[in-house]
Amino acid sequence: MKKWGLALSAVLAAGTILGACGNKSSESNGSAASDFTVAMVTDVGGVDDKSFNQSAWEGIEEFGKANDMEKGNKGYNYLQSKSDADYGTNLNTLVRQKFDLIYGIGYKLKPAIEDISKQRKDSKFAIVDDVVEQPNVASITFKEHEGSFLVGVAAGLTTKTNKVGFIGGIQGPLIGKFEAGFVEGVKAANPKAVVDVQYAGAFDKADKGKAIASSMYGSGSDIIYHAAGATGNGVFSEAIDLKKKDPSRELYVIGVDKDQSEEGKGKTKDGKEFNITLTSMVKRVDVAVKDLAEKTKKDEFPGGKLIEYGLEEDAISVAKGENLSEDVMKKVEEFKEKISKGEIEVPTAPAK
């Protein structure tokens, strides 16, 4: 498949101002009245997972509002999947509702999109975080390993115990990119540090995230990076609970996909506020889905192509949290520069 190099920094600067040349728009009285529609199907994490799905929905919402669209079947919408069995049903529902562009959010939707895109050749689909080689499917991927490397650098330079943790959702090639980058980043910044890697086996089990985090913090890890969707909510919950019990304890969580500083907020028993989010590996899913919707509305749908977003397009970044020191952030920027120049090649799979 052909990769498209997209200048997302321009998209971020320009916002969502669109041309009035959608394939279903009419220009009457000097203005464009478009009936373009767009929708997405979540994975099991749900639209309010405070991470991946939520970021995608925020991008679609921004696109819809910027184009005076209404939420619903005649504008922009989403269908939530409660189990893997819902993917195909939800995608077909959106096809029957005649949405112009239909997103499948997450690699778990790949089999359903592969099947339905073959059956519904006149419909346009996009998958996020995987590749479907069909002429009516656009594939969106990210260089998560590079961003994970950088938050690994932050963890390696911040840890006081020289032990940090990584909690993944479901083990596989995608989350393996997060793991591989993080481990390499920690080692590059602090060769003495050890990374405890564990998987929850789910993206929607906050209780499992909390249990694993409890074990990791209990065994000496003082920073945990999660790439586990809504499961990661349990990691934040456990860190906040531990901080409440012992306000002097230094422990942190590194968020993923969105800037998760809000999820790290808590209060001690005497009402003193604190935040246990060290930083976040920000993956601009919102920008990606908005960018593709804009192109599709302008009849520039990149069907059959792979669009990859990374550091160069400002689609992968490290959030500057209140707990991240200026010295550490400076080092992160130095490593970012080395990656951009090709001096460091970040692995995409964990070492065997």
Residue 113's closest CA among 303, 300, 288, 284? 303
What backbone phi and psi angles, to 5 degrees, belong to 69? -95, 155
Mean pLDDT of the 317-338 span: 95
pLDDT digits (tens, 9 = 90+) for 268-306: 999 999 999 999 999 999 999 999 999 999 999 999 999
Residue 23's pLDDT band (cuts 50, 70, 90):
very low
235-258 pLDDT, tens digit each: 999 999 999 999 999 999 999 999
The residues that bridge with 40 in the sheet, in sequence order, are 78, 103
Residue 189 pLDDT exceeds 70: yes
**For residue 34, what pLDDT band results from cuts at 50, 70 and 90?**
low
**pLDDT higher than threshold 50 for residue 29:** no
What is the model's pLDDT at position 314? Answer: 84
Strand partners, 105: 128
Domains defined along the chain, listed by start: 3-24+36-143+284-313 (3.40.50.2300), 144-281+317-340 (3.40.50.2300)
Q: Tokens 């079947």: give the residue.
A: 73
Interval 306-332 mean pLDDT: 93
Q: Which of 351, 340, 294 is nearest to 317 (CA)?
A: 340
Whole-number mean pLDDT of the chain? 91
Lowest mean pLDDT among 25-39, 42-56, 149-163, 191-205: 25-39
Which one has a higher pLDDT value, 25 or 323?
323
> Is it the case that residue 24 has pLDDT exceeding 90?
no
Q: What is the mean pLDDT of residues 8-15?
A: 41
Q: Is 349 left (phi over 0), alpha (psi -120 to 50) or beta?
A: beta
One-letter amino acid identity for 196?
Answer: D
H or E element: which one contains 27?
strand 25-28
Q: Which two tokens stand for residue 189?
A: 């910044």
Which tens digits make up the pLDDT trace of 135-167? 999 999 999 999 999 999 999 999 999 999 999
Rounded Cα distance between 125 and 131, Å, is: 11
Confidence band for 195, pLDDT divided at 50, 70 and 90: very high
